[in-house]
Copies of this chain bind each other. A is one copy, B any other.
Amino acid sequence: MFESAELGHKISKADYDKEVPILRADLLDAQYDMGMARKFPVIILVDGIEGAGKSEVVNLLNAWMDPRHILTHGFDRPSDEQRERPRMWRYWQALPPKGKIAFLFQNWYAAPLDSGLSPKAKASRLEQRLAEINRFERMLAEEGALLLKFWFHLSKDGQKKRLKALEKTALTRWRVPPKAWDQYENYGAFIDTAEQVLRRTSTAHAPWIVIDGSDDRFRALSAGRILLDAIQKRLELAKKDYKPRSASAPLPPVLDNRDVLNALDLTQRLTKKNYAEELETWQGRLNQLSRDKRFRERALVLVFEGVDAAGKGSTIRRLTGALDARQYRVVPVAAPTEEEKVQPYLWRFWRHLPRLGGITFFDRSWYGRVLVERVEGFCLEPEWMRAYSEINDFEDQMTSRGIIVAKFWMHISQEEQLRRFKEREDTRFKRFKITPEDWRNRERWPEYERAVCDMVDRTSTDHAPWTLVEAEDKYFARVKVLKSLCQRLAQAMD
């Protein structure tokens, strides 16, 4: 894997001085063109052996290009805000928008790479981590990101030589942290893990690029040329209006008329009296659970999806009514903002994840991708097809961090919807709830039904199950949501 990076590559000063001005001008041009096109971000991971010149080369590329459009992040120990969120949260926060370049040091590979130095690390754990990373990078690539993963390499002897040279003068001595010599002492173990990591995560959409780090000029020119080449190629693709390539398997055909939605018994009701009693009971229970000591180490994410006018908003109000307003946040999901549009589509949900002890209600959610965007054709079939697994990954990461994920689909019949639409139009303080879009969506009822069934089949998982709610009767629906939420919370905290 590292053979050709240990050959001792070299570039003469003369060649270097001839090449660099041309490369710089080309890089600036490419950077300008990608900034104008705003079609893709460039994410550059910088890893490798200590002493192989990682930060030198990034500093140089910053100097060669326009640093105003480059972000450079080093991920040190996580802050408390970061620790209380899923592992990948801080990387999501650092993703560059389309048109910009980001260099990421000590990125999502830092922990897997270091695991080789820890005797306690389990092989299965590492494999699991790498599989997670592969799914994450695949998502980035499918969302259009240009992902470059640089490994700056040194042989064991080479590392010793470089570290000693750096330690010679005061100007470079700070570049040798104690960690660097530790790594040298354990070079064999470190490189074994590195080989495994690189092998497992060298994928078609994001292969590792191994560069010999022993010669300053060779290292810089290589990285610069590769970067230039990658941006230029992607710009060409962008011009041709590049679209995701993954072919999607066809969905299973509908053979009979039974599906999870028409299996619902929409006649279930609750009298006003029973409702009042049950509401009080379950609101009280929810309040208790939300103040349970064990909840301080957990968090809750609620997803509300449903047919228009099925009562999402009023149900959410019955839940928030039982909670302290400081503890929860309701995120109404509308069209993405400018800042959100230049990021992968899950980005705008990641940013709202609660800290420990917090509760976030999503009134509509990331499932828009496989519902409205699918049905209305706002995204392509390969895009919503891959969304199922991306969403499962997202929810997986939440639950791994202790977040309880509860998802509700609120369902009513077409007739009941019509009745409610009319009522809304007639009632002063409900008028804001009905828009021409609602009437349009109504015409696509069967397509929405199909999309909902697929969604449930593909994303109702053990750790984040869907609860289908018969909402023809509002009282019944609200109590069902409250009750099943309480049960889930109690169960999750046990």
Show the binding face of A for B, using Cβ within 8 Å. Answer: 24-25, 28-29, 32, 55, 58-59, 62-63, 66-74, 79-81, 103, 105, 171, 174, 284, 287, 291, 313, 316-317, 320-321, 323-326, 328-332, 337-339, 363, 428-429, 432
Q: Is the beta-carbon distance between B68 and A330 smaller than 8 angstroms? A: yes
Q: Contact: A59 with B432, CB < 8 Å? A: no
Given contact pairs A32-B432, A55-B325, A68-B316, a sample of 8 additional A-B residue pairs in the complex whose CB atoms are under 8 Å apart: A28-B429, A28-B432, A29-B429, A59-B325, A62-B320, A67-B325, A70-B330, A337-B338
CB distance from A300 to the nearest CB of B (A): 15
Q: How far is the CA of A325 from the CA of B284 in the complex (A)?
A: 53
Question: For A71, what are the chain B residues with a Cβ–Cβ distance below 8 Å?
Answer: 329
The contact of A363 among B55, B68, B80, B174, by CB within 8 Å, is B68
Given A79-B79, A326-B73, A337-B337, CB of A25 within 8 Å of CB of B63: no
B171 adjacent to A320 (CB under 8 Å): no
> So how many copies of this chain end up in the complex?
2
User: From DSSP, what is the main secondary structure of chain A's interface residues?
Assistant: helix
Given contacts A28-B429, A284-B171, A429-B25, contact A103 B66 (CB under 8 A): no
* CA gap between A317 and B80 in the complex, in Å: 33
Complex Cα distance A70/B320, Å?
Answer: 12
CB pair A63 B321 closer than 8 Å:
yes
- Asked if B55 and A324 make an inter-chain contact with CB atoms under 8 angstroms apart, the answer reads yes
Q: Measured between alpha carbons, how far is A79 from B358 in the docked complex, in Å?
A: 15
Give chain B nearest CB distance to A284 CB in angstroms. 7
Task: Give, as a whole number of angstroms, the nearest-CB distance from A233 to chain B.
Answer: 20
Determine if A317 and B105 form an interchain contact, defined as CB atoms under 8 angstroms apart. Answer: no
- Whether B330 pairs with A174 at a CB distance below 8 angstroms is no
Query: With A and B bound together, what is the CA distance between A344 and B328 in angstroms?
Result: 25
Asked, given contacts A337-B337, A338-B339, A429-B29, whether A67 binds B326 with beta carbons under 8 Å apart, the answer is no
Least CB distance from A246 to B in Å reads 31
Q: Which of B62, B74, B316, B339 contacts A67 (CB 8 A)?
A: B316
Assuming the contacts A69-B332, A79-B80, A81-B79, asked whether A105 and B326 have C-beta atoms less than 8 A apart, the reply is yes
Q: Are A25 and B428 in contact (CB under 8 A)?
A: yes
Known: A59-B321, A80-B79, A325-B72. A313 touches B29 (CB 8 A): no
User: Per a CB cutoff under 8 Å, which of B69, B326, B330, B337 touches A74?
Assistant: B326
Pairwise interchain contact B29-A287, C-beta atoms closer than 8 A:
no
With a CB–CB cut-off of 8 A, which chain B residues contact A174? 291
